[in-house]
Amino acid sequence: MSSLVRQYKEALKICKLYSKFDVIFLKRGKGRIIKFKGITAEQFIYDVYKKLYCEHIHKKEEVLIQPHYFDCVLIDDPKLLDFSKYLTIESVVVRTSEGKYQIHIPLPEAFRSYDPERRRLLMRCFSELFKSDRISWNHARKLPGFFNHKYNPPVYIEIVNFSSKINIYALLMEHIDPIWQRCLSELERLERNPDTTPPEGPEGIVNTKIYRDWWSFYDGDESRADYRYAIYLFSRGLTYSEVKERILRESKDIHVRKRGHLADYLRRTLSKAQAYAQATYEPPHYKYKYKYKRRAK
């Protein structure tokens, strides 16, 4: 089998797991571009792959897909050494670099919930089982058959085979359900006895104004979460140095993602966020007064 045919088949195998998705080009240090929006596996077969391959080779960009629907659970970078014992028959494992994997686990129709809270809870259960990174359900997936330009030299992304015999329902009922029940009981306990202690600010100083963390702004795009979280922090009255410290402490893999230009990235992101927060800030009583007048008319 030629390398081109192999690349095509591996990319197609992932695309067939998802009913509809966006194809994204990632240029390290320059951000993401949505190249094809809302396509299906059939469109990928006939229209997209050739364009993707040519542009990827010439521009040295990473190729990712971002699903529109909750067809699969994605396990990103599992730390569990023997994770193969939890792989279902339908699972597809993609090696993104040496010792790092993304695992696609297709879900039965009954478990593809549209409720964001149920999705979040199910993702948390899988993350705890595989000891993997905590991500959103529509986190971008690296497409096999292309290269990961995060490393020098670039690493070829490929599908690897594991012997897996467990059924998806056995995985859900025997391994996921106990974690699900424990998480539900924890949530119920917190609702009955909420923890009203405010989170700690920089250097252990309790900040009574901050009640959201970086993850509450994360939707699959780390840089966008950095920007939104910075705007929130500035609007709550934190200084530039305090916001910078929180971003460095909470942002996912920021020292790896922005290696070589972290200082410049922080300067540009925080300056824009600070300017936006200052320009759009309006005291609440003015805002409500304005809305009241509009309704009165």
pLDDT tens digits for range 136-186: 888 889 988 888 888 888 888 999 988 777 888 889 999 999 998 988 887
Task: Report residue 119: phi and psi, to 5°.
Answer: -60, -45
Asked whether residue 196 is assigned to any structural domain, the reply reads no
Cα separation, 291 vs 296, in Å, equals 9
The answer to whether 126 touches 203, Cβ cutoff 8 Å, is: no
The answer to whether residue 57 scores a pLDDT higher than 70 is no
How many domains is the chain partitioned into structurally? 2
* Mean per-residue pLDDT over the chain, rounded: 79
Residue 250 has, within 13 A of its CA and on its CB side, a CA count of 23
Q: Are residues 141 and 255 in the same domain?
A: no
Q: Which residues span the domain enclosing 241? A: 202-296
Q: What is the pLDDT of residues 179-201, one digit of tens each?
A: 989 888 876 775 565 444 444 44
Task: Report residue 199: phi and psi, to 5°.
Answer: -65, 155
User: What tokens does 287 get?
Assistant: 């805002």
Asked whether residue 54 is assigned to any structural domain, the reply reads yes
Q: Are residues 269 and 171 in the same domain?
A: no
User: What tokens does 5 get?
Assistant: 């045919």
Q: Which helix (H) or strand (E) covers residue 289, if one does?
A: helix 284-296
Per-residue pLDDT, 208: 46
User: What tokens does 240 get?
Assistant: 């530039």
Amino acid at the residue 223 = S
Q: Which residue has the higher pLDDT, 131 or 294?
A: 131
The answer to whether 142 touches 64, Cβ cutoff 8 Å, is: yes
Q: Are residues 135 and 42 in the same domain?
A: yes
Q: What is the pLDDT of residues 228-276, one digit of tens each?
A: 899 888 888 888 988 998 899 888 888 888 877 888 889 889 988 888 8
Q: Is the dihedral of CA 262, 265, 271, 277 positive or negative?
A: negative
Cα separation, 22 vs 143, in Å, equals 12
Cα separation, 139 vs 221, in Å, equals 8
Last residue of some domain: 111, 144, 178? 178
Q: Are residues 43 and 127 in the same domain?
A: yes
The answer to whether 237 touches 226, Cβ cutoff 8 Å, is: no
Which residues face 105 on adjacent strands? 73
Can you tell me the mean pLDDT for 5-16? 83
SS3 call for 132: coil
Q: How many other CB atoms sit within 10 Å of the CB of residue 222?
A: 18
Looking up residue 61, the CATH number of its domain turns out to be: 3.30.70.1790
Q: Note if the pTM is more than 0.75.
A: no
CA angle 48, 20, 123 (to 5 degrees): 125
Q: Are residues 14 and 73 in the same domain?
A: yes
The answer to whether residue 294 scores a pLDDT higher than 70 is no
Q: Are residues 171 and 208 in the same domain?
A: no
Instruction: State CA 261 to chain mean position distance.
Output: 22
Asked whether residue 253 is assigned to any structural domain, the reply reads yes
Quick one: DSSP state of residue 47? Answer: I
Q: Are residues 219 and 119 in the same domain?
A: no
Please, which residues have CB within 8 angstroms of residue 128's CB and are 6 or more apart in sequence? 179
